Amino acid sequence: MDCMFSKDSHGEDSRRESGERLLAEEEGTLLSVNETSASTCNNFAACLLQLSAFLLVFLVGTLFGFHWRGDLDGLCSRHVSQYSTVMKEVGIQYSQQEFNGSLLKENVFRQDASPDVDAAWESLGVNYRSVRIPPEDAEQSGLATDQVKINAKYGGGFPANVEGLHHLHCLNLLRQSLYYNYDYYHNRGEGPFTNNDYIVRRHVSHCLDILRQELMCTVDSGVLGQIWIYPENPEPYVDFNTQHRCKNFDAVRRWAEENQLPQDPPSDFLQAPSEGDRIYSQMP
C-alpha cells in the first residue's frame, strides 16, 4: 500500500508540475502576445502621427506652391523693383519677347525727325502728366512726408511720375538731340527746346546719366551670340535679336494715361508747404 501510495503521489506530483509548466508557458505566451500587441499599437500610432505630419506639410506646401506659382511674377517684381501704386493696381506680369536688334532695317522709332516719328514716341507715354499716389502708399513708394502734396479738397495724395516713362522721355530727348535731329527740334522750340541752350544741354546730360544709372542698376545678364553673314565669304556677326523676359509695359502705360492729373489744374490744386517741410534753395 505504501508503495502504491508513493507511486500515486509521485504521479500526482508529476502531473501537477506538468500543469504548472504548461500554465507558465501559456502565461508567458499570452504576455508575449500582449507585449507584441502593445508594441505594434505604439509603432502604428507613431507611424500614423508621422504620416499625418507628412501629409500636413505636403498639403501646406502644395497650397503655398500654387499661390506662389500663380503670383510668381508679382513676387519677382516685388523682390527686384521699388514698390509703388502702379505695382498694386496694374499687377506686373512677364512674357517672353524677342528684341529687334537689326542694324540696317529701321523701324519708326529710329527714323529721322518727322511728325510720324514724334507721334510714335508720343504713343509710348513720354509726355504723360503726373499721377496721384494715395497717402497710404507714399512711404512704401519711397515718397517723403514733406514732398509736394495735392490739396485735400481735390483728393489729397502726392503727385508723381511713373519712372519707366520718364526713362523713355529721356531716351526721346537723346534722340531729339542727335546731331542729325537737333536743328529740327531746336528750330521748332517746343517741349524741352523752349529753354535756352544752357538748360537744354543740362537736361540732355541729366537724361544721359539717368539712363546710365538705370542700365547699370538693372544690368542685363543675357548674352549675345554670333551668326554667320555673307555666304560667299562668311564672317561672324553679333546676333542682337535676343530673347528677354519683359514686363507688361502696355498695361503700365495705359494705367499712367488713365490716371493723369488734370491738364489745367486750379491754382490751389497743390497744397502749400507746411511748417517744417524742407524747401531746397536750388534745384538738387
Delimit the domains of the chain by residue range.
Answer: 1-62, 96-258
Burial 50-71 (b: 16+ CB within 10 A, else e): eeeeeeeeeeeeeeeeeeeeee
> Is residue 33 scored above 70 in pLDDT?
no
Q: Which three cell numbers stand for residue 120?
A: 510714335
Q: What is the pLDDT of residue 80?
A: 81
- Percent of the chain past pLDDT 70, that is, above it, reads 81
Distance CA 231, CA 126 (A): 42
Among candidate residues 102, 160, 172, 111, the one with its CA nearest the CA of residue 134: 160
Q: What is the pLDDT of residue 60?
A: 66
Question: What value does the mean pLDDT take over residues 246-254?
Answer: 97
Higher pLDDT, 53 or 124: 124
Higher pLDDT, 281 or 38: 281
Q: What is the pLDDT of residue 5?
A: 41
> Is residue 103 scored above 90 in pLDDT?
yes
Q: What is the pLDDT of residue 15?
A: 54
Burial 173-198 (b: 16+ CB within 10 A, else e): bebbbeeebeebbeeeeebbbeeeee
Amino acid identity of residue 228, one-letter, is W
Among candidate residues 83, 78, 114, the one with its CA nearest the CA of residue 94: 78
With cut-offs at 50, 70 and 90, classify the pLDDT of residue 211.
very high
- Residue 260 DSSP SS3: strand
Question: What value does the mean pLDDT take over residues 194-202?
Answer: 98
Question: Of 39-43, 49-53, 229-233, which gets the smallest average pLDDT?
Answer: 39-43
Distance CA 200, CA 192 (A): 7
Amino acid identity of residue 204, one-letter, is V
With cut-offs at 50, 70 and 90, classify the pLDDT of residue 73.
confident
Among candidate residues 48, 276, 270, 15, the one with its CA nearest the CA of residue 149: 270
Query: pLDDT, tens digit, for every residue of 59-72?
Result: 766 665 555 555 78
Q: What is the pLDDT of residue 270?
A: 98
Query: pLDDT, tens digit, for every residue of 105-148?
Result: 999 999 999 999 999 999 999 999 999 999 999 999 999 999 99
Average pLDDT of the residues of the chain: 87
Q: Which residues, including other chains, have CB under 8 Å from residue 125's CB and lie 6 or more apart?
A: 162, 165, 168, 253, 256, 257
> Is residue 164 scored above 50 in pLDDT?
yes
Cut 0.85: pTM above it: no
Beta strand ranges found along the chain (DSSP E): 94-98, 131-133, 158-160, 226-229, 235-238, 243-247
